[in-house]
Amino acid sequence: MDVLNGLLHGFAVALQPTNLFWCFVGCFLGTVVGILPGLGPAATIALLLPLTFKMDPAGGIIMLAGIYYGAKYGGSTTSILLNIPGESSSVVTCIDGHAMAKNGRAGPALGIAAIASFVAGTFGILALTLLAPPVASFALQFSSPEYFALMCLGLALVVLLSGPSLIKGLMSLFLGLWLTSIGTDLFSAQARFVFGQSELLGGMDFVVVAIGVFAIAEVLASIDGGEKARMLPVPKGVRNLLPSWEELKACRFAFINGSVTGFIIGVLPGAGSAISSFIAYGIEKAFSKHPEKFGHGVPEGVAAPEGANNSDSGGALVPLLTLGIPGGGTTAIMLSALVLWGVRPGPLLMTESPDVFWGLVASMYIGNVVLLILNLPMVPVFAQILRMPVHVLFPVILGISLVGAYGVGGRLFDVGLLVGFGLLGYTMVKLKYPTAPLILGFVLGDAMERALRQSLTMSQGDLGILVRGWISATMLACAVLILLLPLLGRFNKARVQAIAEGG
């Protein structure tokens, strides 16, 4: 069946009233799950799984997929409004999204997040429709050295996330590397840095660390600011609640960047949507005409990572649907759902169950439209949250953070960790250490160590394996280039100064 026929068949399936209904239900639930920390898409799908046994597989997968990509749409809401990253993929959105909210541009930030999600999400599905088989074989070329290079590329972004003091940024990054290695080592079952606490054997969850270091620290720093801790400005009028034409124009490149970066990284089973959003943000800043404004609320800083993590959903379905390989927790449970319904996910899925494959693909085009329609009208409503007086808003942020941390595994231990990380984050803010590199190190450090050790195990200690493939060599070269950027910048500044003085 060729693509066009397949897609037409898919729309015939997806446009059946019942399937349309399930698509809507999935998207709606996904949005809710994404907005509220403490609820993850994987857990929600697991919870709803028994209800889907009576549905036909196409309807079931359409609904579950709606939860999956809908959650990423909703994920930006708490990041932008409250600086609480609800999902790992929306951490980067906090940086410029919350800064925009503090500048009174919460509505536009939410709007841009929704539009970027729509554009990039649709691009991801388009790429899934047209390119799935060749892209899947590209993904399989990625071995450990390539993953190592990808993680290095990601970690090199520290240069762009550090602010004025690179050395403090690096120290924050290394603190993140250390935190992520707490727990049981996969290769040797050695417990590392657990202080005899069996709760730490499983390592710390990313959400707990990020909420502590971002949201709690932000609240404490604002309270410290005292007089300055007034209500966040929410200008009146619809005009100020939706993005302006200039803001959208500024995001042109970010939409493309997020779409492409998110899809490519999403296809790789060993990467994750957090990585794609970090890299898209890094690319955006590296190529920006005004990189110094990043972190102070630029719309591109929201559009790029939000786009990336939605395009990522389309990418992640490529190995799942063409090879039967799940890339992460949520796709893993979708895979097992297919098995439980009696569909056989694997290399033959596309030909043996065209209803499921093409029905799902077509439903995702519809789902993205549904999500845009669901989300845009909510923007003004959500922006009103910031009208709450600060003395109510701050306790509510702390409360949502507590729920989010507890929701990770239902352990009070995580709540304790959250308290600790809140203090750490506040201390870092006070001493002007940037916190984003810590999260970057925490997200990528573990994967980087693993990829390096896998590579060296494969090559029996020969470091040459890291640069032998063209993919890894190219990415490592890019990483080095990025690391050299500050030197270039200094050189450039000196040059400009010299010219100015000379003239």
Partner 1 sequence: MTTEFRQRRGRGRVTKDILRNGDVLSAAALAALGVYVFAEAWSWPYYNEDGPGPGFFPVWYGVVMVVLSLALIAMTIAKLPRAETPDWQGISRALITWAAFAISAALMGWLGFLVSFALLTFFMITYVFRQPAVTAGVAAVIAAAAFYLVFPFALSVPLPTGVFGF
Partner 2 sequence: MIIRLSPALAALALVAASAFPAHAQFKPTKQIEFVVHGGPGSGNDVFARQLSTIIDQEKLAPVRVQVVNKPGGGATTAANYMASKKGDPYTIACFTNIWLLNPLVQKAAVNRLQDMSPIARLVVEPALVVVLADSPFKTLAQFIDAAKANPGKLKWSGGSILSRENTVRQLLMQKTGARWQFISFPSGGERLAALLGGHVEMMIVDPSEAVEQIRGGKFRAIAQVSEHRLPGFPDVPTIKEAGFDIPNVPQMRGIVGAPGMSPEAVAYYEDLFFKVSQTPAWKKFLTDSHLDGEFVRSAQLKPFLINFEGTLREILKGTGAKVVR
The answer to whether 154 contacts partner 1 (rule: CB under 8 A) is no
Cα(75)–Cα(98) distance, rounded to whole angstroms?
13
**CB proximity list for 397: less than 8 A, separation 6 or greater:** 82, 83, 84, 215, 218, 219
Interface segment toward partner 1; rule CB under 8 A; list 115-123, 356-364, 448-456, 476-484: 448-456
Q: Which does 332 bind (CB under 5 to 8 A by kind): partner 1, partner 2, none?
A: partner 2
Q: How many CB atoms are located within 10 Å of the residue 317 CB? A: 27
Cα(198)–Cα(252) distance, rounded to whole angstroms?
49
Residue 25 beta carbon to partner 1: minimum distance, rounded to whole angstroms:
15
Nearer to partner 2, 43 or 131 (CB): 43
The answer to whether 403 contacts partner 2 (rule: CB under 8 A) is no
Report residue 446 CA to chain centroid gap. Answer: 17
Cα(379)–Cα(376) distance, rounded to whole angstroms?
5
Site for partner 2, residues 343 to 362, rule: CB under 8 A:
344-348
The answer to whether 456 contacts partner 1 (rule: CB under 8 A) is yes
Residue 73 beta carbon to partner 1: minimum distance, rounded to whole angstroms:
18
The answer to whether 269 contacts partner 2 (rule: CB under 8 A) is yes
The answer to whether 424 contacts partner 2 (rule: CB under 8 A) is yes
Residue 426 beta carbon to partner 2: minimum distance, rounded to whole angstroms:
10
- DSSP codes joined into one string, 374-398: HHTTHHHHHHGGGGS-HHHHHHHHH
The answer to whether 144 contacts partner 2 (rule: CB under 8 A) is yes
Cα(417)–Cα(371) distance, rounded to whole angstroms?
34
Report residue 21 CA to chain centroid gap. Answer: 28
With CA atoms as reference, report the closest residue to 113 among 103, 101, 128: 101
Identified binder of partner 1 from the candidate list 419, 471, 473, 478, rule CB under 8 A: 419
Identified binder of partner 1 from the candidate list 185, 252, 290, 490, rule CB under 8 A: 185
Q: How many CB atoms are located within 10 Å of the residue 453 CB? A: 16
The answer to whether 395 contacts partner 1 (rule: CB under 8 A) is yes
Identified binder of partner 2 from the candidate list 431, 460, 464, 503, rule CB under 8 A: 460
Residue 414 beta carbon to partner 2: minimum distance, rounded to whole angstroms:
8
Cβ-contact 307, 265 below 8 angstroms: no
Identified binder of partner 1 from the candidate list 230, 430, 490, 495, rule CB under 8 A: 430
* Helices (H), ranges, 55-104: 57-74, 76-82, 91-102
The answer to whether 335 contacts partner 2 (rule: CB under 8 A) is yes
Identified binder of partner 1 from the candidate list 2, 246, 289, 431, rule CB under 8 A: 431
Half-sphere exposure of 81 (CA within 13 A, CB side): 30
Residues that bind partner 1 in the complex, under the rule CB under 8 A: 32, 36, 38-39, 167-168, 170-171, 174-175, 177-178, 181, 185, 187-188, 190, 192-193, 216, 219-221, 223-226, 390-392, 394-396, 398-399, 402-403, 406-407, 410, 412, 415-416, 418-419, 422-423, 426-427, 430-431, 433, 449, 452-453, 456-457, 460-461
